[in-house]
Amino acid sequence: MKNFTCVQDIGNLKTALDEAFEIKKDRFKYVELGRNKTLMMIFFNSSLRTRLSTQKAALNLGMNVIVLDINQGAWKLETERGVIMDGDKPEHLLEAIPVMGCYCDVIGVRSFARFEDREYDYNEVILNQFIKYSGRPVFSMEAATRHPLQSFADLITIEEYKKTARPKVVMTWAPHPRPLPQAVPNSFAEWMNATDYDFVITHPEGYELDPKFVGNARVEYDQMKAFEGADFVYAKNWAAYTGDNYGQILSKDRDWTVSDRQMAVTNNAYFMHCLPVRRNMIVTDDVIESPQSIVIPEAANREISATVVLKRLIEGL
């Protein structure tokens, strides 16, 4: 594996899942693989699960780990070419990136959408600058348009808990007080479309995702209809994608909050969310605390997805 930014980079899904379950049985099986190798994790945005799970995965593989929080203890970085740097950013990303590459063997980058320019966000400018200029294998710890480590962990979790070969998986929009990027829903849709699951996306009108991520999924604007017979419910907020509404909140309709009302029409579905979750906005207390909530095992599988990806990146050095 050269870089890891999307589902295509993981290759054959069955092979990847087999590797994930192998590692889950013995997390330290490949502890010698990363000896004298260094992972650098670069965070332009906040993190809890990604930071902890990826660092744990690196330690499982025997790697050294360097963590850098941009704008918190590091120089503020300019990202645009052609800018006269007479402001508060004394260093340019195009010098910083190759310097970072000098100190490590693998680089993980976390950089969210800014919602200032859809073209800039969807061109993944920052992530692609690291790929182009670092001289190291690069993997996404969430970028503007995708969160592949999360989606791989989601897939592992569904495979563990599914009771039928082809489960019905529903991804539902839910309200949130702030505009959130489309990275998680985009990525989840992309990974689900790579399986043979019965995959449905439900959201209010105006919250359509980029068609290249929606793919072959069925889009249903009636949430209750979408939930009928579901085996897994994946809740997530995202801001509008289309037209001049990009990055905007169009609705805070609490009728879309996942509650016992919606879950009652499912096939005793498991509830999933990438976390952190706004209780009683995204999901009610009763649903997230129910026996069918698998958000904690889902989060635990972030360590496994990261270990598989790092293992493959190291093997490709």
Residues of the chain with CATH 3.40.50.1370: 1-144+298-313, 149-297
User: Strand pairing partners for 140?
Assistant: 109
Residues 155-179, mean pLDDT to the nearest whole number: 98
| CA 104, 107, 110, 116 torsion-angle sign | positive
Angstrom CA distances, 139 to 4, 111, 211, 252, 278, stand at: 4, 11, 24, 34, 28
Closest C-alpha to 58, from 27, 93, 92:
27
Rounded CA separation 225/28 (Å) = 45
pLDDT at 80: 83
As annotated, the binding site for carbamoyl phosphate includes 47-50, 75, 110, 147-150, 274-275, 302
pLDDT tens-digit readout, 66-108: 999 987 878 888 888 899 999 888 999 999 999 999 999 999 9
Reading the block at residue 91, the tokens are 């260093």
Class of the domain covering 1-144+298-313: alpha beta
pLDDT at position 84, please? Answer: 93
- Distance, CA of 4 to CA of 162 (rounded, Å): 26
Q: What is the pLDDT of residue 74?
A: 80
Mean pLDDT for 243-258 is: 97
- Bind-site residues: 47-50, 75, 110, 142, 147-150, 176, 236, 274-275, 278, 302
Residues making up the annotated binding site for N(2)-succinyl-L-ornithine are: 142, 176, 236, 278
Question: Between 167 and 75, where is the model more confident?
Answer: 167
User: Which pLDDT score is estimated for 94?
Assistant: 92
107 burial level (CB within 10 Å; 0-12, 13-18, 19+): buried
Quote the pLDDT of residue 101: 97
Nearest to 128 by CA among 86, 67, 168, 79: 79
Give the model's confidence band at 19: pLDDT under 50 very low, under 70 low, under 90 confident, else very high: very high
pLDDT of the residue at 78: 85
Pairing of strands 138-140, 232-236: unpaired
What are the tokens at 144? Answer: 């503007």
Mean pLDDT of the chain: 97
pLDDT above 70 covers what percent of the chain? 100
SS (H, E, C) 267-286: CCCEEECCCCCCECCCECHH
Nearest partner of 74 among 41, 105, 122, judged by Cα: 41
- Condensed to tens digits (0 to 9), the pLDDT of residues 22-75 reads 999 999 999 999 999 999 999 999 999 999 999 999 999 999 999 999 878 788
pLDDT category, 173, cuts 50, 70, 90?
A: very high
| Kind of pairing between the strands at 38-43 and 77-78 | unpaired
Beta bridge partners of 200: 170, 218
Degrees to nearest 5, angle at CA 309 with 96 and 39: 35
- Give the residue-averaged pLDDT of 246-259: 98
Cα 268 from Cα 118, distance rounded (Å) = 38
User: Per the CATH hierarchy, to which homologous superfamily does domain 149-297 belong?
Assistant: Aspartate/ornithine carbamoyltransferase (3.40.50.1370)
Mean pLDDT across 290-306: 98
CA distance 128 to 121: 11
What is the pTM for the complete model shown? 0.97
